[in-house]
C-alpha cells in the first residue's frame, strides 16, 4: 500500500499489531490526527487510511468509519463557579501543616489564626487576598489541597504487663463523663523497642489531662517504678493546676506500691483508678496522644542507648511541651447517640489546651498569669526549628548505637559458627583473630548495659554445674 510518498506493507503492520497492542491513549491520538485527513480525502485515500487503521489497531472498518466521522470531543467546562482556592495556597498551608505536626483539617483550620502571624514574620507578608482565603477556607477544602501529600500510619507493639497484687486496692474507673475541670489525668507508656521487646530500651511516659487536653511527656529507661514516680513529681511541680485524679492501665509500671503511696499518702489524696483489662478505649485520651505526641515525633525505631534518655527529656520538657500545648488545637467529644445502626458523634470547636485552661474558673490567677507569660515568649516556627535540630541529634546517636549493636551481634554469630577444639587440646577454644570492634563482649558488660540500676527485682542467673 502506498500513501503519498510513504510505502506501507499492510502485512507487516498486521504482524506488528499482533505482537504489541497500542494503548487507548495512543489510539485516540492517532484518530485525532487522522480525522481531518480522512474527511478531506478522496474515496481512494479514505480506503487506504482505513486499511492502515485496521492493520494498526485490528479494528473493523465500520468502527473506524464511525470513529473518523464523529465530531471531535470538546473540552467539558467544569460546572459551577470558578475555583476560589487554587494551588497557590498550598505553599503556606503546607508549611504550617508540617510545622504543626500534620493535624487533621478541622484542627488545622483552628490553628491557622495562631500560626499565620509567626509565618509572616519568618517568610514574609502574605497578600491580603491570600491571607483571607487561608482563614476562610473550610476543612473540606484543606483536605482536598493536602490529599496528595498525606502519609499513612503504622502500629507498634503492645508491652502492657499486668500487676495482679494491687488490682483489688485500685478501683476501676466508671465515671467517664463526670470530669468538669482540669486535674484528671490519664497515663500510659510507649515502648521504643523497634520490632522486638527483648532487652533494655527507652520508654516514653505520657500524661494527658482529660478536660483540657494538656499533655506532658518524659522518657524513662526500662520504666522502673522509681523513675515513673520521679518524673510524675517533676510534672506535677510544673503544672498550673492541681492533680485531682490519676487513671492508668493495668501495667506493672503503674500498679505498684511506690506510685500508690505517692498518690495517696498526702493531706488531700489523689484518686487513683485503673481501666478495665484489655479495654484500650477506657484510656482513649492518652492513647490518642501517644500517636500524635510520641509516634509522630520519634517514630518506631529502637532506642537502646541510655544516653538518649537525657536528650529526649530535654526535647519533651522544653520545645515539644510548648508546641503541643500552646499552638496545636484539639477537638473534644461533646455528645454521641445512635440512630439505627449508625453512631453519630458531635465534637466541639477545636481549641488549644492553653485556651481551655485560660477559660477555666478552676485555674488560679497565678497559674493563668504564668501561662500567659510563657505564651507571649514563644514562636511556633522557632520551636519547630529547635525540635528538628534536637531530633537530628537523637537519631544520629540512635543510628550509631544501632550500627554498633549490629557489629556485636554479627561477631557473636561468627564466633558461634567456628568449630570447637577438643578438651584435651591446650589450644584456646576459638582459634581465630578478631579486630578490635569484633571482640566478643563479656557477659558482665552485657548485663551492665542491658539492665537498669533502678530495677526493683534482682536478676538471678542460673547456675551451671561444674564438670567433675
| Residue 184 CB coordination number (10 Å) | 24
Residues in the chain: 468
Q: Looking at residue 32, what is its pLDDT?
A: 79
Give the span between the Cα atoms of 224 and 147, in whole angstroms: 42
- The tally of CA atoms less than 13 A away on the side-chain side of residue 93 is 31
pTM given for the model:
0.65
For residue 413, the 8-state DSSP code is H
Q: How far apart are CA 144 and CA 87, in angstroms?
A: 11
The alpha-carbon radius of gyration of the chain (Å, integer) is: 34
Report the pLDDT value the prediction gives residue 154, as an integer from 0 to 100. 56
In the prediction, which pLDDT does 324 show?
A: 94
Beta strands 271-274; 245-248: pairing state? parallel
- Helix (H, G, I), strand (E, B), or coil: what is residue 2? strand
| Contact indicator for 111, 329 with CB cutoff of 8 Å | yes
Question: What phi and psi values does residue 190 have, to the nearest 5 degrees?
Answer: -125, 135
Q: What is the sign of the dihedral through the CA atoms of 238, 289, 293 and 124? A: negative
Cell 542491658 identifies what position? 450
Helix (H, G, I), strand (E, B) or coil at 157: coil
List all residues 6 or more positions away from 339 whose beta carbon is below 8 Å from its beta carbon: none
Largest CA-CA distance found in the chain, in angstroms, rounded: 110
Q: Are strands 271-274 and 184-191 parallel, antiparallel or unpaired?
A: unpaired
pLDDT of residue 169: 77
Instruction: Supply the DSSP symbol for 316.
Output: I
User: What is the mean pLDDT of each successive set of 10 residues along the chain, which is 468 residues long?
Assistant: 46 49 74 81 85 82 82 72 84 90 89 91 90 91 88 58 64 73 92 88 94 94 90 93 90 88 91 84 87 91 92 95 93 86 89 94 92 93 94 90 68 60 45 40 38 40 44
Half-sphere exposure of 235 (CA within 13 A, CB side): 25
Which residues contact residue 56 at a Cβ distance below 8 angstroms, ignoring those fewer than 6 apart? 13, 16, 17, 22, 30
- 88: cell is 497557590
Burial class (CB in 10 A: 0-12, 13-18, 19+), 271: middle
| Pair type for strands 202-209 and 184-191 | antiparallel
Amino acid at each position: 500500500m502506498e500513501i503519498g510518498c510513504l510505502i506501507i506493507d499492510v502485512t507487516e503492520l498486521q504482524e506488528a499489531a499482533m505482537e504489541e497492542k497500542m494503548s487507548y491513549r495512543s489510539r485516540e491520538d492517532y484518530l485525532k490526527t487522522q480525522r481531518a485527513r480522512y474527511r478531506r480525502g478522496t474515496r481512494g485515500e479514505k480506503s487506504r487510511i482505513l486499511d492502515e487503521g485496521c492493520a494498526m489497531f485490528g479494528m473493523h472498518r465500520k468502527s473506524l468509519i464511525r470513529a473518523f466521522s464523529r465530531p471531535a470531543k470538546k473540552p467539558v467546562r467544569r460546572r459551577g463557579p470558578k475555583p476560589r482556592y487554587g494551588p497557590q495556597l498550598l505553599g503556606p498551608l503546607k508549611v504550617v501543616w508540617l510545622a504543626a505536626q500534620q493535624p487533621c483539617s478541622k484542627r488545622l483550620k483552628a490553628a491557622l489564626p495562631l500560626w499565620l502571624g509567626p509565618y509572616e514574620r519568618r517568610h514574609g507578608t502574605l497578600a491580603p487576598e491570600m491571607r483571607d482565603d487561608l482563614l476562610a477556607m473550610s476543612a473540606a477544602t484543606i483536605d482536598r489541597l493536602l490529599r496528595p501529600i498525606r502519609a499513612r500510619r503504622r502500629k507498634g507493639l503492645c508491652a502492657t504487663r499486668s500487676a495482679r497484687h494491687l488490682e483489688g486496692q485500685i478501683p476501676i474507673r466508671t465515671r467517664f463523663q463526670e470530669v468538669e475541670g482540669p486535674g484528671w489525668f490519664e497515663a500510659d507508656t510507649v515502648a521504643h523497642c523497634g520490632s522486638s521487646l527483648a532487652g533494655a530500651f527507652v520508654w516514653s511516659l505520657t500524661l494527658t489531662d482529660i478536660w483540657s487536653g494538656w499533655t506532658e511527656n518524659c522518657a524513662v529507661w526500662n520504666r522502673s517504678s522509681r523513675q515513673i514516680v520521679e518524673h510524675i513529681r517533676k510534672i506535677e511541680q510544673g503544672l498550673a493546676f492541681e492533680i485531682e485524679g490519676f487513671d492508668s492501665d493495668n501495667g506493672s509500671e503503674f500498679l505498684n506500691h511506690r506510685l500508690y503511696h505517692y498518690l495517696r499518702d498526702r493531706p488531700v489524696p489523689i484518686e487513683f483508678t485503673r481501666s478495665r483489662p484489655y479495654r484500650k478505649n477506657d484510656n482513649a485520651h492518652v492513647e490518642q496522644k501517644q500517636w500524635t505526641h510520641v509516634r509522630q515525633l520519634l517514630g518506631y525505631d529502637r532506642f537502646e542507648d541510655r544516653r538518649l534518655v537525657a536528650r529526649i527529656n530535654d526535647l519533651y520538657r522544653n520545645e515539644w511541651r510548648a508546641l503541643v500545648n500552646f499552638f496545636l488545637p484539639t477537638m473534644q467529644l461533646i455528645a454521641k447517640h445512635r440512630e439505627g445502626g449508625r453512631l453519630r458523634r458531635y465534637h466541639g470547636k477545636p481549641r488549644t489546651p492553653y485556651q481551655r485552661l485560660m477559660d477555666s474558673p478552676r485555674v488560679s490567677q497565678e497559674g493563668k498569669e504564668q501561662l500567659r507569660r510563657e505564651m507571649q515568649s514563644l514562636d511556633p516556627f522557632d520551636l519547630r526549628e529547635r525540635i528538628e535540630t534536637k531530633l537530628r541529634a537523637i537519631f544520629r546517636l540512635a543510628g550509631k548505637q544501632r550500627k554498633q549493636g549490629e557489629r556485636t551481634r554479627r561477631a557473636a554469630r561468627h564466633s558461634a559458627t567456628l568449630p570447637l577444639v577438643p578438651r584435651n587440646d591446650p589450644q584456646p577454644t576459638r582459634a581465630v583473630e578478631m579486630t578490635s570492634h569484633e571482640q566478643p563482649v563479656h557477659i558482665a558488660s552485657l548485663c551492665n548495659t542491658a539492665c537498669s540500676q533502678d530495677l526493683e527485682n534482682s536478676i538471678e542467673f542460673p547456675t551451671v554445674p561444674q564438670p567433675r
